[in-house]
Amino acid sequence: MIGRGVTEGAFRTVDVRVAALGILGTVNWVAWWFDPDHNDNLDAISHQLADTAVAGLLDVSSRQPVDGPDQAIAAIRAQPPRTDVALLRTFALSARRDDGPSAGRGPAA
């Protein structure tokens, strides 16, 4: 997914392996600190982490300021396919999966 985003120009040029491992490391650590008994909201956390991951990959170097809604709509329509949205959905869906009785409680001992 990250390589595709780089190829399509939605993501900046990065080492795809390092980017993927960095995101996976971030997501994996949630199991250590997530605690539903302390009002942690899994949906909010998954969206924030996905948004942070995507924001770190997006290529914003070619974006130009726009003047008014017509230019904003034209700029949105000119963008490549939304790989970032697909990535966000992937993270959100995988965070909602229940992997068993210890899900969200840290690694099993």
At 6 the three-state DSSP class reads helix
pTM summary value: 0.55
Measuring CA to CA, which residue among 96, 81, 19, 76 is closest to residue 53? 19
Q: What is the pLDDT averaged over residues 9-38?
A: 90
* Residue 14 pLDDT exceeds 70: yes
> 10 Å Cβ neighbour count for 105?
13
Rounded Cα distance between 23 and 53, Å, is 6
Number of residues written out for the chain: 109
Q: What is the pLDDT averaged over residues 1-20?
A: 90
Q: Which residues contact 56 (CB under 8 A, 6 or more apart)?
A: 19
Q: Which residues contact 107 (CB under 8 A, 6 or more apart)?
A: 31, 32
Q: Which residues face 67 on adjacent strands?
A: none
Round the average pLDDT of the chain to a whole number and report it.
76
CA 16 to mean position of chain CA atoms: 14
Q: Which tens digits make up the pLDDT trace of 33-78?
A: 888 888 888 888 888 888 888 888 887 776 677 787 888 777 767 7
